[in-house]
Amino acid sequence: MRPEQVKKYYVNTEPPSLEPWSIARKHIRIVTGDRRFIKLNTLRSRVDEKALWRLCARHAPSHVYMSVVNYLFPERVGLKSWGKHAYPVGGEYVIDVDNYLFRGMDTHEHPRTWVCMACLEVARRYTVRLCELVEENYENIRIVFSGARGFHIHVLDFNVKDWAHYDEHDPVKSHEVARFRYTLHLARMLDAMFDEPHFTLSIDPMRMISVPQTLNASTGLVCRLIGNRMDLERKSVMRILDEANPSLAIWGCFHSYP
Ligand SMILES: [Zn+2]
């Protein structure tokens, strides 16, 4: 997408409420069209939805990422000994279901566009199964369309203390240990469920994930919040793609995808 189209999206849409995420506690980074990374929190210590939309309208980013961990001082992330001084205060666990992992494994012909409807449907079903598994431990789950080939499962009530002793002197290590143990737990159960892995589990507390409702300018689709597992079960991939289509906000008329 051209930068002026990206700008239009952020100018013409209202800043969304990103509840239940605490967006102002996130460390937020954008990638610009010329592949520069900009840390938004150094421009402004706490970036709420309004500020995020304003900054995106200015920089026309191709991707907008947030930390999975929440911080009391998100602007200090990345500085020396940031773990101590940024104060991690919880955060979500995210599973990536990305259907590029299915490619070559099936027999149908993929279209030459970013999104293959058949593959996205497979990803949708995997995501539902994974959510059911996560629901054995957690209930506050949100699913976001990745804006390309899959879905992000955000486990919002993931709690470090469920899996590790929380060491106040080394909060980052505590996050790492808890994420490692939960990942191990999930991996064991998933091994029994699926022959092939179609998802990424990450233990990295520093990992970044797309901010819901922002634009993936590589594909021209919105990383649209879908809702919980039941919402995903109810929606067809056709409807998911229609809802992720930003053309109404950009041009004032609807072009179906692709
Ligand atoms: Zn396909």
Domain span including residue 206: 3-251
- 150 Cα–ligand 1 center, Å: 12
Query: What is the DSSP secondary-structure string of 109-150?
Result: PPPSSS--HHHHHHHHHHHHHHHHHHTTT---EEEEE-SSSE
Domain total for the chain? 1
- 146 Cα–ligand 1 center, Å: 16
Look at residue 256 and tell me if it is in a domain.
Answer: no
- 119 Cα–ligand 1 center, Å: 4
DSSP-assigned letter for residue 244: T
Contact 29, 38 (CB under 8 A): yes
Look at residue 13 and tell me if it is in a domain.
Answer: yes
Look at residue 162 and tell me if it is in a domain.
Answer: yes
> Residue 257: its pLDDT value, please?
64
Look at residue 126 and tell me if it is in a domain.
Answer: yes
> Residue 95: its pLDDT value, please?
92
- Kindly report the CATH number assigned to the domain that includes residue 170: 3.90.920.10
- 109 Cα–ligand 1 center, Å: 6
Of 49, 190, 93, nearest in space to 40 by CA? 49
Look at residue 257 and tell me if it is in a domain.
Answer: no
Q: pLDDT by residue (tens digit) across 170-211?
A: 888 899 999 999 999 998 888 777 766 667 788 888 899 999
Contact 192, 91 (CB under 8 A): no
- 125 Cα–ligand 1 center, Å: 14
- 39 Cα–ligand 1 center, Å: 35
Q: pLDDT by residue (tens digit) across 41-58?
A: 887 778 999 999 999 999
